[in-house]
Amino acid sequence: MGKFIEMSDALMDYISKIGVREHAVQARCRAETAAMGRISGMQISPDEGAFLAMLTRLTGTRRYLEIGTFTGYSALSVALALPTDGRIDALDVSDEYVGRARTYWAEAGVADRITTHIAPALETLDGFLKAGRTGTYDFAFIDADKTNYAAYVERCHRLVRKGGLIAIDNTLWSGAVIDPANTSDDTRAIRALNDALAKDPRFDIALVAISDGITLLHVR
């Protein structure tokens, strides 16, 4: 036995059954998104949804900022864990995908907690900063275009309160981050961000190997 277990489909199924309490609408969102084909890889996994929900509860989050909403599974996971006065700002560039997301949120009874912003996220985030939202979010989740990740982290550092949390998805990038032969724009962007965050004194850091890697940043 090695020091680390290797994930398999069977073990993932076990985790999904035993370690995740999925709402019926979450299950439907997942099934219908899977039917969309290859693009469904943009959806977070069920255990990651449960992890985000747990983080939401542990941080006492009332204001959640999401960069990259797709068909709504992650926002739904957090929305179901928020207190009734909790609010979500969900950012995405696709009205089509977010349109699907809205049907799930409505069906789960959490649509009134979620405001969508369909535009390039940097424009929306800079608008939030101009509107005086500095330090008003408890928790931000970044799961969008990788080449803008560093810019998203900078905005989130200002928008999330001290003591709040920033979570960044796909920071292991299928392991490509340690493959020097992989020099795609996305890989280089994630690798550079990881290298920078490793010594960034503004945050406490934990990169956890859930799904495709999630970097957790506690804002100092």
Q: What tokens appear for 151 in the block? A: 């810019």
Query: What number of chain residues touch Ca ion (CB under 5 A)?
Result: 3
Quote the least distance from Cβ 128 to Ca ion, whole Å.
22
Quote the least distance from Cβ 33 to Ca ion, whole Å.
12
- The piece of 1-9, 87-95, 138-146, 159-167 that touches Ca ion (CB under 5 A) is 138-146
Q: Which CB, 66 or 169, lies closer to Ca ion?
A: 169
Interatomic CA distance for residues 10 and 15, integer angstroms: 9
Q: Which CB, 69 or 116, lies closer to Ca ion?
A: 69
DSSP state of 137: E
Q: Which CB, 110 or 210, lies closer to Ca ion?
A: 210
Quote the least distance from Cβ 70 to Ca ion, whole Å.
8
Interatomic CA distance for residues 65 and 74, integer angstroms: 11
> Side chain identity at 191, as an amino acid letter?
R
Q: Let me know the angle formed at the C-alpha of 82 by 78 and 85, rounded to the nearest 5 degrees.
A: 135
Quote the least distance from Cβ 90 to Ca ion, whole Å.
14
Interatomic CA distance for residues 203 and 54, integer angstroms: 20
In angstroms, the first-to-last Cα distance of the chain is 38
143 interacts with Ca ion by CB under 5 A: yes
Quote the least distance from Cβ 170 to Ca ion, whole Å.
5
Binding mask 158-177 for Ca ion (x = CB under 5 A): -----------xx-------
Interatomic CA distance for residues 157 and 153, integer angstroms: 6
Instruction: Name the residue with tokens 């998104």.
Output: 33
Residues in the site for Ca ion, rule: CB under 5 A? Answer: 143, 169-170
